[in-house]
A and B are shown apart, each in its own frame.
Chain A
Amino acid sequence: MMNCQKSTQLLSESQERHLSLKEKILLKTHVMMCSGCRNFGEQMKSLRELSRAYAKGVNGDALEDKDSGNTGAKPKT
């Protein structure tokens, strides 16, 4: 029987590996009934997107160029 702990673990792992058919079915059944895990699944995708934006320096400009003159490299819009 799938619980939230196991389900969130699979939701995390699915970002690194393909889940087996059995895992997929168990997960889907659980997530259908559990809003918390459903939200968690969405958040895993958001977390990935946000992390990439973070790494690309969306805010890095502030961190990097604060007081070191203009480097000439402007971020693309």
Chain B
Amino acid sequence: MQKKAATPTHAESSTDLTDPVFLKELRITMMKFAILQLSDEHLAEDAVQEALIGALKNAGSFNRRAALKTWVFAILKNKITDILRKRQNLVAASRLSHDDNGDEMQETLFDRKGLWKTEERPIAWSQPAEAVKNEHFWRVFDSCLNGLPENLARVFMMRELLELESNEICETLNISTSNLHVMLYRARLRLRDCLENNWFLGEK
């Protein structure tokens, strides 16, 4: 086991918040997340800024990037909750905790035997790696991600954008592992459906 250092080592661990590239990437992800939750770019900007300032105070005590991300993210989540509360936005608050969506999606996709409906059956995506270079593709990706129900978008982003481990997500959100699996499944079903319909089908 490596001993936890009080100050960041300069060797190869560019995991601290003084690394401009890491900080920039982290900030972009945080902004996307915050905008999604708050639907307001200015409020999102403030929340991210405050979370980062809060995080910088103790940045030195983290020597693992994943741990740092989890922590920064937890701070951001608190900021967002505060803002939502202050706004007394009951609609948004109830949306945050609402957790029942996905079953109707599965009814749309599968028949009664649980088989793909003919028109919903996934196609082979041609050259997904090429899509990365296409600006229009990212606009489609953006809108598909933003089209997810908020609770699904949140777990999906934590898992695939922040690259957090399952247990970290479950702890942060206080949900069970099986709950997480179901939510990720629902998010992926929707996201792949959206990308296929709005991008990969047109590519053919």
Instruction: Give the chain B neighbours of A48 by CB distance below 8 A.
Output: 160
Interface assignment of A67: CB less than 8 Å from any CB of chain B: no
Interface assignment of B28: CB less than 8 Å from any CB of chain A: yes
Given contacts A47-B192, A54-B141, A60-B25, contact A72 B160 (CB under 8 A): no
Please encode chain A, from 24 to 62, with 1 for each CB lying within 8 Å of some chain B CB and 0 for all others.
Answer: 000000000011110110111011111111111111101
Q: CA of A34 to CA of B189 in the docked complex: distance in angstroms? A: 17
Who on chain B is nearest to A5 by CB? Answer: B114
Of the residues A4, A6, A47, contact of B191 by C-beta under 8 Å: A47
Report yes or no: B135 in contact with A62, Cβ–Cβ below 8 A. yes
Expressed in whole angstroms, the minimum distance between the Cβ of A44 and any Cβ of chain B is: 7
Interface assignment of B116: CB less than 8 Å from any CB of chain A: yes
Report yes or no: A16 in contact with B166, Cβ–Cβ below 8 A. yes
Interface assignment of B21: CB less than 8 Å from any CB of chain A: yes
Report yes or no: B116 in contact with A72, Cβ–Cβ below 8 A. no
Instruction: Give the chain B neighbours of A50 by CB distance below 8 A.
Output: 128, 131-132, 141, 195
Which label, helix, strand, loop or mixed, suits the secondary structure of the A interface?
A: helix
Expressed in whole angstroms, the minimum distance between the Cβ of A27 and any Cβ of chain B is: 14
Of the residues B21, B106, B128, B135, contact of A46 by C-beta under 8 Å: B128
Of the residues A3, A12, A46, A54, contact of B161 by C-beta under 8 Å: A54
Q: CA of A4 to CA of B20 in the docked complex: distance in angstroms? A: 45
Report yes or no: A47 in contact with B188, Cβ–Cβ below 8 A. yes
Who on chain B is nearest to A74 by CB? Answer: B21
Given contacts A60-B25, A71-B24, A72-B20, contact A12 B185 (CB under 8 A): yes
Interface segment out of the listed B57-65, B72-80, B117-125: B117-125
24 contacts between A and B (CB under 8 A): A3-B114, A4-B114, A8-B189, A9-B181, A9-B185, A12-B189, A13-B181, A15-B184, A35-B121, A37-B116, A39-B124, A40-B122, A40-B192, A42-B124, A50-B141, A53-B132, A55-B162, A58-B138, A60-B25, A62-B135, A62-B138, A64-B28, A72-B20, A73-B24
Closest 9 CB pairs of A and B: A3-B114, A59-B138, A5-B114, A36-B121, A51-B160, A55-B161, A60-B28, A46-B128, A39-B122
